[in-house]
Amino acid sequence: MRLESYGAPLRLEEIERPETGRGVLVRVEAAGVCHTDIHIVSGSYDLGDGNLLRMAERGIQLPITPGHEMAGRLADLGGFTEASLREGDPVVVYPWLGCGTCRKCTAGYENLCEGKPASLGIFRDGGYAEYVWVPHPRYLVPRGNLEVARSAPLACSGLTSFSALKKCALNGDDLLVIVGAGGLGTIAVQLAKRTTGAKVLVLDVSPSKLELASELGADQTIDTSGRARRDVISEIKQANGGRGADAVLDFVGNPSTSTMGFEMLTKQGRLVLVGLFGGAASFPLPLFPLRGAQILGSFTGTLTELSELVGVAATGAVTTFVSAEYPLEDANDVLRRLERGEVMGRAVLRP
Ligand SMILES: [Zn+2]
Ligand SMILES: [Zn+2]
């Protein structure tokens, strides 16, 4: 399913199976549909105040095959011989490739490449296809017996939640507030409950999504639809002995959620911004020093973190919630439903 011009629907096309060249081929068996794909198809991010970050300015060239949450089997090892992988092995693909030579890439942060990023499904062809070309076998994480549809979302929504949660630096009796119980929020709830001792409170505007968050282990949920910010914050403090949140994971990232997230922080609180809904916000500057507060951004995660996460998932401690699987040609329909907020957990294409 190819994107030929921004704003237009993806088109099902027959193209040649890629040559391995200096790389390997993976037969894609599952590709998660991510919010980022909506931005890629529409062609921009909203930066607020009428400013747009355009995909074309980020160096994305069309046509491109979207899809960065990929799991499948190694189909062709190309010329690589030193790899521990064999053809047919079940893998998750790490899609957040960088230039490989800048300071960030050489330090292991390819997802934050300062040079020319080469992420699969964004700058290079991705997983809305039967095969994906990957430049080196080190980007393939063995997934053992993990089911293919459930392991695909680990590459973006899982990894993003995992890396963002680490930045919260939670201690035993901390309160973590998760804003948004979609694909990322549902994974963050499980990871927070299984890997930290923190109390987890989830905010969303959808009762069914909050119900799912509770089933997955959230200690408390609040439906924020139609409620004043001040009310929600006082309910949170009431539930936490008068104290605010030690960390807030904002998986929405709009002006209203980010300002509310900042306002609910206790001393030394951290607001970790993940969602790319868009817009701009203002924060009262004296509160940063007075409260020792921090705002951090978190974008995807590293290859090391993905290996670690796949290891955690393999123990059964966390499962991605895949609500439905669709044939590849339903990509446009699934993207529309995701945009309308109708997808519970993750929807996955099965090329
Ligand atoms: Zn994504
Ligand atoms: Zn780089």
Task: Say if residues 225 and 205 touch (Cβ distance below 8 Å).
Answer: yes
CA of 107 to the centre of ligand 2 (A): 9
CATH code of the region 159-297 = 3.40.50.720
What pLDDT score does 317 carry?
Answer: 84
pLDDT beyond 90 at 344: no
Alpha-carbon span 188 to 204, nearest angstrom: 14
Give distance in angstroms: CA of 328 to centre of ligand 2.
31
CB 29 within 8 A of CB 350: yes
d(C-alpha 120, C-alpha 24), whole Å: 13
* pLDDT, averaged across the chain: 93
Helix axes 183-195, 303-314, angle to 10 degrees: 70
Convert the pLDDT of each residue in 73-93 to its tens digit.
Answer: 999 999 898 768 999 999 999
> pLDDT tens digits for 115-155?
999 999 999 999 999 999 999 999 999 999 999 999 999 99
CA–centroid distance, residue 299 to ligand 2 (Å): 15
Neighbours of ion ligand 2 (CB under 5 A): 98-99, 102, 105, 113, 115
Peptide bond into 63 cis (omega under 30): yes
Mean pLDDT on 342-347 = 83
Report CA(134)–ligand 2 centroid distance (Å).
Answer: 16
Task: Determine contact, residues 350/326, Cβ cutoff 8 Å.
Answer: yes
Q: Name the β-bridge partners of 327.
A: 350
Annotation: CATH topology of 24-156+301-350: Quinone Oxidoreductase; Chain A, domain 1 (3.90.180)
C-alpha closest to that of 248 among 325, 192, 314: 192
8 A C-beta contact, residue 189 and residue 212: no
287 CA from centroid of ligand 1 (Å): 32
- C-alpha span between 324 and 326 (Å, rounded): 7
One DSSP character per residue, 18-83 reads PP-SSSEEEEEEEEE--HHHHHHHHTEEEEETTEEEEGGGGT--SSB----EEEEEEEE-TT--S-
Match 């949660």 to its residue by tokens: 165
Nearest ligand to residue 104 Cα? 2
Which residue intervals of the chain are DSSP H helices?
35-42, 103-106, 148-151, 157-167, 183-195, 207-215, 229-239, 255-263, 287-291, 303-314, 331-339
Q: pLDDT higher for 239 or 68? A: 68
Question: What pLDDT, on a 0 to 100 scale, did the predictor assign at position 191?
Answer: 94
Proximal ligand: closest to the CA of 97:
2
Q: Phi first, then psi: give them for residue 213, nearest 5 degrees.
A: -60, -40
Q: How far is the CA of 157 from the centre of ligand 1 (A)?
A: 6
Mean pLDDT of 203-224: 95
pLDDT in tens, 219-251: 999 999 999 999 999 999 998 999 999 999 999
- pLDDT on residue 183: 81
**pLDDT confidence of 343, banded at 50, 70, 90?**
confident
Instruction: Yes or no: say if 24 and 34 are a contact pair by the CB < 8 Å rule.
Output: no
CB 163 within 8 A of CB 301: yes
Decide: helix, strand or coil at residue 230. helix
C-alpha of residue 84 to centroid of ligand 2, in Å: 25
- Which region, left, alpha or beta, applies to residue 332 given φ > 0 means left and ψ of -120 to 50 means alpha? alpha
Expressed in angstroms and rounded, the spacing between residue 182 Cα and the centre of ligand 1 is 12
Distance from Cα 298 to the centre of ligand 1, integer Å:
13
Q: Ligand 2 centroid to 112 CA: how many Å?
A: 7
Side-chain-side CA neighbours of residue 37 (13 Å) = 36
**Can you give the pTM of this predicted structure?**
0.91
- What is the rounded average pLDDT of the residues 301-321? 92
Instruction: Assign 255 a pLDDT band (cuts: 50, 70, 90).
Output: very high
Note whether 24 and 78 are within 8 A (CB).
yes
Please name which of 315, 270, 323 lies closest in space to residue 295, comparing C-alpha atoms: 270
Q: Which of 44, 61, 159, 56 is nearest to 111 (CA)?
A: 159
Using alpha carbons, list the distances in angstroms from residue 131 to 1, 16, 265.
Answer: 12, 10, 45
Task: Tell me the percentage of the chain whose pLDDT exceeds 90.
Answer: 82
Look at residue 202 in the predicted model and tell me its pLDDT.
Answer: 98
The answer to whether 204 and 224 are in contact (CB under 8 A) is yes
pLDDT, residue 46, reads: 72
Domain locations in the chain? Answer: 24-156+301-350, 159-297
pLDDT the model gives residue 318: 87
Of 10-14, 327-331, 344-348, the one with minimum mean pLDDT is 344-348
Max Cα-Cα span within the chain: 62
Picking from 240, 241, 237, the residue whose alpha carbon sits closest to that of residue 263 is 237
Output the CA 311–ligand 2 centroid distance in Å. Answer: 26
pLDDT digits (tens, 9 = 90+) for 18-63: 998 999 999 999 999 998 899 899 988 777 777 887 877 777 889 9
